[in-house]
Structure 1
Amino acid sequence: MSEKTTTPSREDALYREVTAQLVAAMRAGTAPWQRPWTSGPVHPSHLQLHPFNPVTGTRYRGLNRLKLSLSSVGRDCRWLTHKQIDKLGLCLRPGSRSERIFFWSGEQKDERQRPKTRSRQRLGEEDARRSPSCGAYWHTVYNGSDVDGLDQVVGPVEIEPPDFDVNMNVVNVLAASGANIVHGGDEACYFSALDRIHLPWRRQFRSSADYDSTALHELAHWSGHPSRLGRDLSGKFGSHRYALEELHAELASVFIAVELGVGLTQRHIDQHAAYLNSWCQALESDERAVQRVAANAQNIADSLLAFAPHRVKLPGKPYLPRGRRENR
């Protein structure tokens, strides 16, 4: 099933839908990055932040990644269109719930997410239409846990467990970034005026993974310096701007942690509790904020993962920047 968006209000409805879903999950404590344990019998919680299409290998990104991650909690990380399920000769279980995913025209995106006929056909979107008044497209996908026999046809998801020892992928990214990191004290922060990250020593954390996730969070803030991605880092503690930047950094650090094999940790729970109300207020006060947050977090993750010579093996095809894409 596919539809076209015909008015700007349809696109606004998308942002309201995702915002309501995200805020509800955060308040309930069920957002995928809030739970550093295996939350279901299907896939570990860190893979719920890695939704992908097992037929095309497409890894969903940005707002679609956030939306499907929220719907993957305790379920499969694989998502397919109805047409793909039919072509595989499989059946949906009765009562299966679909999720809408969206694509936008007029933006520099991965070609798998650009609304061109051939790209859409590779995603099983042959009947997706384009609205002349709005650059948003949507179609429906279904979770792999609702598809009987999926493992027998496409194979089970190969899972490389997170590394809770010293993670050399993170060590290499921190070193390759060239960030000025000062260790000592009992505070983790990024000083934009000095362009410097302060971190406690690794031995001061409850686990090595807690150190890694904290370092990646501060490195995400570091990416916003005017000489890099140039985000507005002037927000004061408690302000709307400050809350959004914290959410940018937290989502980005989680996206990066999945790619580098860092398990979700208690630090994510503590960070979430500290900023819960301000994050929810920031999202609810501006219905389009969720789209900007998801896009910025993905952009931060992409820029910092460029420093990663090695990543853990994850299902699906990795994102390739323009000029480095594979032939399809």
Structure 2
Amino acid sequence: MPSKTKRAPRVKPDLYQVITNKVIELLEAGTVPWQRPWNQYGLARNYATGHVYTGINAFLLNFFPNFDVPFYLTYKQAQALGGQVRKGAKAETVYFFKTLYKNVDGKILKAAELAKLKESSPSGGWGAAIPMPRTFHLFNIADIDGINFEIPELKENPSAPIEACDNFVASFPLWGPGGLEIRHDDLNHAFYTPKADRINMPPLPRFHSPEAYYKTLFHETIHSTGHASRLSRPGITLPKEQRKPGSETHAQEELIAELGAVYLCQHAGITVAPPLGAGGLENAAAYIDSYLQLLKNDKRFLFQASSQAQKAVNFLLEVPT
């Protein structure tokens, strides 16, 4: 009797590496994904539930697909609404993290074991928590037939975004006695000083547009959320010599600020421009090499930075996390 040929075990793709390679490829081709124009309809969201995708999923859905409307459904959601995904449509892969627990012997706890532990120790201490990435797939509504999708009317961009952005910035929980301060001492450079808890911004006329001014202000404001009294990020709290330009800590903090600023621009309703300082391009090209180096050395770098950027935005918008 002929022996059966054994199939090679299926190797699961490394989800961290897949996404990281995708971003590396774009950066090496000279494309910075988070500098692409935003969709006029706003942030990517689930059409059925209204859920706005955050963290790494916000990064993937807002910066990569090229659809007119950023609304998505799962295959089952489309069917439940009476629709059908078009044959050949490409799904967008998004991620969630399932937390597993290991006991003191390093063994993954089964669901029943974990349930008993939670019952006996409701306050925690169930073992070492391990976040494990899982995937699911979404389809843009442009690839779904049979549903009469109701698309909201586009809001006109305000002719004078200054007042709208001023009101948006004023809503941040940073101001007041002993809080963050904005000055205009240095006319040529925008920066955040952790020791003084102060942002310096060149005056608005030094920028080529109000949008460029506020994009830069949002970038520095995201930096300020890393202050020890707020979210306490290493890129802000470590001694200066440990977070100097060229270091991994500095590069990660810059990416956090860039992603966070882009998200804030969308919340404020302004068009995202490249990170312009007074007098021209200052930040974008300078950090690409350091981003590439970190991405090649650490496949979790992008996930961590996008997560921290989302936490910073949530802090400013006072969204519970």
Q: TM-score band (shorter)?
A: 0.7 to 0.9
* Aligned mate of 2:310, from 298, 306, 315: 298
Task: Indicate the percent of aligned positions where both proteins have the same amino acid.
Answer: 30
1:268-320 deviation per Cα after TM superposition (whole angstroms, max 9, x unaligned): 694332211111211221111111111101001111123xxxxxxxxxxxxx5
Structure 1 match to 2:120: none
Amino acid at match of 1:282: L
Shift in Å at residue 221 of structure 1? 0.4
Change over 3 Å in CA distance of 1:92–1:51 after alignment to 2: same
Q: Look up the equivalent residue of 2:153 and give its one-letter code.
A: E
Q: Distance in 1 between matches of 2:31 and 2:145?
A: 26
Query: Shift of residue 167 of structure 1?
Result: 3.1
Asked whether the 8 Å contact 2:184–2:201 carries over to 1, the reply is yes
* Counterpart residue identity of residue 262, structure 1: I
2:34 match: 33
| Equivalent in the alignment of 2:273 | 265
Provide Cα deviations, 1:217-252, integer angstroms capped at 9, x if missing partner: 000001101011100124111111111100000000
Please tell me whether the aligned partners of residues 34 and 63 of structure 2 are also in contact (alpha carbons under 8 angstroms): no
Counterpart in 2 of 1:321? Answer: 320
Task: State how far apart, in whole Å, the 1-side matches of 2:160 and 2:246 are.
Answer: 35
User: CA 1:27–1:47 in 2, change beyond 3 Å: closer, same or farther?
Assistant: farther
Q: Quick check: 2:23–2:33 contact (8 Å CA) kept in 1?
A: no
- With over 3 angstroms needed to count, the CA separation of the structure-2 counterparts of 1:50 and 1:203, relative to structure 1, is same
What's 2:248 paired with? Answer: 240
Q: Deviations over 1:53-76 (max 9, x none)?
A: 101111111111112223323553
Moved more, 275-284 or 199-208: 275-284
The 10-residue stretch of structure 1 (192-201 or 157-166) with the greater mean CA deviation from structure 2: 157-166
Q: Are 2:169 and 1:174 aligned?
A: yes
Equivalent residue in structure 2 for 1:59, among 52, 57, 60: 52
Match of 1:325 in 2: none
Counterpart CA distance in 2 for 1:133 and 1:70 is 28
Give SS of 2:45's match.
Answer: coil
3-state SS of the aligned residue for 2:263? helix
Question: Which among 184, 194, 199 is matched to residue 197 of structure 1?
Answer: 199
Structure label with greater radius of gyration: 2
Alignment partners' CA distance in 2, 1:155 and 1:27: 39
TM-score, normalised to structure 2, is 0.74
In 2 relative to 1, CA 302–133 (structure 1 residues): closer, same or farther, beyond 3 Å?
closer
Find the residue that maps to 1:105 and give its secondary structure.
strand
Match of 1:13?
14
Seen in structure 2, the aligned counterparts of structure 1 residues 47 and 13 have a Cα distance that, compared at 3 Å, is farther
Matches within 5 A, 1:203-282: 203-232=205-234, 233=236, 234=238, 235-267=243-275, 270=281, 271-282=283-294
Q: Distance in 2 between matches of 1:34 and 1:168?
A: 24
Distance 1:155 1:32, change over 3 A: farther
Give the structure 1 partner of residue 75 of structure 2: 82
Seen in structure 2, the aligned counterparts of structure 1 residues 161 and 240 have a Cα distance that, compared at 3 Å, is farther
Cα distance, 1:260–1:296 mapped onto 2, change above 3 Å: same
Tell me the residue number matched to 1:140: 137
Whichever residue aligns with residue 139 of structure 2, its letter is Y
| TM-score for the superposition, normalised by structure 1 | 0.73
Q: Which residue of 2 aligns with 1:100?
A: 93
Greater Cα shift, 215-224 or 27-36: 27-36
1:181 alignment partner AA:
I
Deviation of 1:135 (Å) = 4.0
2:297 and 2:66 map into 1 onto residues whose CA distance is 26
On the 8 A contact 1:164/1:208 being kept in 2, the answer is no
Question: Is this contact kept in 1: 2:220–2:257, CA < 8 A?
Answer: yes
Q: How far apart are residue 170 of structure 1 and its match?
A: 2.7
> 1:158 maps to what in 2?
153
- CA deviation map 1:65-89 (0-9, x unaligned): 1122233235531111111112222
